[in-house]
Structure 1
Amino acid sequence: MAETSTSRSEAPDTGVYAIAEASGQQFWLQPNRYYDLDRLQAEVDATITLDNVLLVKDAKGTTLGKPFVKDASVELKVMAHRRGPKVIVYKMRPKKKTRRKNGHRQELTRVMVQSISVGGKAIS
């Protein structure tokens, strides 16, 4: 009896992505998607290049950096400067009549991933 195995490792996965460091955090970035990062000092419609790329996945395989992938970069286009949702901080000490209410909205920058490139060649 012939068996046909269709495991995940044999199926070709053409998803291109990169894991890059921006604003002190690491982000899973895919081309033609937008992301909200902490506020970046850039004008709207400006182009930003991230050089701290930790991992790149393309059709050929996965490249892992030690700590960064050599000659890899992610190109981002600034779409808008926004503010995140309001977070309420409420502190109360019971039986002391001490209450403090505070709100916070994080300043964000919405960016669109234009291209992921390794060694000067765009892979997406």
Structure 2
Amino acid sequence: MSGYAIIDIGGKQLRVEPGRFHDVRYFTPNLNTWGSGTKISTSRILLICNGSKINIGSPWLANAVVKGRFLHSCFGNKLTIKKIFPKRKTRRIQGYRENMVRFAIDSIHLNQKTASNS
């Protein structure tokens, strides 16, 4: 029986499963003060699926918690921004890499029951 949840974190909706890691936009003030291995939990859960049973929130589920921990900070893929000024015959190239946080999901709870990956 596999369980997963859809959570709202860092301005995006993610499908998370226990035992997997995910990268999200850097949303903490300073990860260095918290350190890696810091426990986190979120209650902004939109959907929990445990086998064939699906629970949908409006907008979030009550009594549902996803627990995990920070692993480390990282960078996203590099974006190249090119600007061309045709009348001046010049061009400018800039690169940008977004700060990301990698975190692992430990467990998904709904009404104190665990939706585990067995």
Query: Could you say which residue in structure 1 is the equivalent of 2:72?
Result: 80
Question: Residue 98 of structure 1 corresponds to which residue in structure 2?
Answer: 90
Q: Using CA pairs below 8 Å that are at least 6 residues apart, which structure has the higher relative contact order? A: 2
Q: Provide Cα deviations, 1:67-108, integer angstroms capped at 9, x if missing partner.
A: 111111111111111112221111113243232211101101
Residue 33 of structure 1, aligned match among 20, 32, 43: 20
* Bigger Cα Rg: 1
Read off the aligned partner of 2:3 and give its amino acid letter. V
* Structure 1 unaligned residues grouped into runs of 5+: 1-13
Identity between Structure 1 and Structure 2 (%):
28
Give the 5 Å matches for 1:1-124: 14-41=1-28, 42=31, 43-59=35-51, 61-124=53-116
What CA RMSD, in Å, does the superposition of the two structures yield over aligned residues? Answer: 1.4
Structure-2 separation of matches of 1:58 and 1:118: 10
- Alpha-carbon offset, residue 60 of structure 1: 5.3
Greater strand share, 1 or 2? 2
Deviation digits for residues 36-56 of structure 1, max 9, x if unmatched? 011132421001111100000
- Number of residue pairs the alignment of both structures matches: 111
Supply the AA of the counterpart residue of 1:51. Answer: S
Provide the C-alpha distance between the structure 2 equivalents of 1:79 and 1:94, rounded to a whole number of angstroms. 46
Return the alpha-carbon distance in structure 2 between the equivalents of residues 96 and 119 of structure 1: 64
1:5 is aligned to none
Contact 2:39 2:67 in 1 (8 A): yes
Unpaired runs of at least 5, structure 2: none
